Chain A
Amino acid sequence: AQKITQTQPGMFVQEKEAVTLDCTYDTSDPSYGLFWYKQPSSGEMIFLIYQGSYDQQNATEGRYSLNFQKARKSANLVISASQLGDSAMYFCAMREGGGAQKLVFGQGTRLTINP
């Protein structure tokens, strides 16, 4: 069963607009961590933002924020004021369980920013 679901294979957004990338997850473990990574065409996976399952507030990192809705099991990434350099593949990932070192990734969303 898919543990991380990203329903948007591709998104096209105008420069300077805000964009929301969707991510839903499935776990029965009360302890888990959620991550978003950006992967440009060069291949490197760039860490963007983290949300722990016990964190009371939504995570923010500069232009990135995570809309964490625990009851709905969603962890959407919001990018404010998009830039051309934001064009990349974006992956949502989850670490579940205490002591587990596995990251499970979603299928990714290809974001294209148009000038």
Chain B
Amino acid sequence: DTEVTQTPKHLVMGMTNKKSLKCEQHMGHRAMYWYKQKAKKPPELMFVYSYEKLSINESVPSRFSPECPNSSLLNLHLHALQPEDSALYLCASSQEYFGGKAEETQYFGPGTRLLVL
């Protein structure tokens, strides 16, 4: 089973709202990722958690706040977003971060389409 789930599928929020995106995996993976993808562009890495600790923050604005409550869950808390933050937000997970196909392949969820008005 290589399933990563994300909720909600779609989200519309105002610039003063607070919302959260949720990602879940039950594959026993220890690395989890958040990516942002604008239309017709490739995904861009935002955050990486390894063993529930934040290991990479790609200089993401503080209005995006990640959280990893346990090894299966990854949240992205959103506050005071801008219209340019509208995008597809993808979550991914992998066993480890390098070492061969089984260890490092990232499996993605279906994404959350976010629209900021």
User: Which chain B positions have C-beta within 8 A of A91?
Assistant: 42-43
Whether, in the assembled complex, B34 has its beta carbon less than 8 Å from a beta carbon of chain A, the answer is no
A7 within 8 A of partner (CB):
no
> Is there an interface contact between B107 and A43, defined as CB atoms closer than 8 Å?
no
Q: How large is the interface on A (under 10, 10 to 19, 20 to 34, 35 or more residues)?
A: 20 to 34
What are the interface flags for B85-113 relative to A under an 8 Å C-beta threshold, 1 for contact and 0 otherwise? 00010101010011011001111111101
Tell whether A44 pairs with B31 under 8 Å between CB atoms, given A52-B101, A101-B56, A103-B45: no
Interface of A: prevailing SS: loop
Are B108 and A101 closer than 8 Å at their CB atoms?
A: no
Contact between chains at A43 and B110 (CB < 8 Å)? yes
B65: CB under 8 A from chain A?
no
Report the Cα distance A107→B42, complex, angstroms.
6
Interface: B71 (CB within 8 A)? no
Contact A52 B100 (CB under 8 A): yes
Residues of A within 8 A of B33 (CB): 101
Determine the distance from Cα of A52 to Cα of B31 in the docked complex, in whole angstroms.
Answer: 19
Chain A residues within an 8 Å CB radius of B20: none
A72 within 8 A of B: no
List CB contacts (< 8 Å) of A42-64 with chain B.
42-47, 50, 52, 59
Does B56 lie within 8 Å of A50, measured CB to CB?
no
In-complex Cβ contact of A101 among B50, B90, B109 (8 A): B50
B contact residues around A59 at 8 Å (CB):
101
Instruction: For the complex formed, measure the closest distance between the CB of A49 and the CB atoms of chain B, giving whole angstroms.
Output: 9
Which of A20-28, A75-83, A92-100 has 4 or more CB atoms under 8 Å from chain B? Answer: A92-100
Interface string of B68-96 (1 = CB under 8 A from A): 00000000000000000000101010100
Question: Which chain B residues border A98 with CB–CB below 8 Å?
Answer: 98
CB distance from A46 to the nearest CB of B (A): 8
A47 x B110 contact (CB < 8 A): no
B42:A101 contact, CB within 8 angstroms? no
* B92 close to A101 (CB less than 8 A): no
Chain A residues with Cβ below 8 Å from B45 are: 102-103
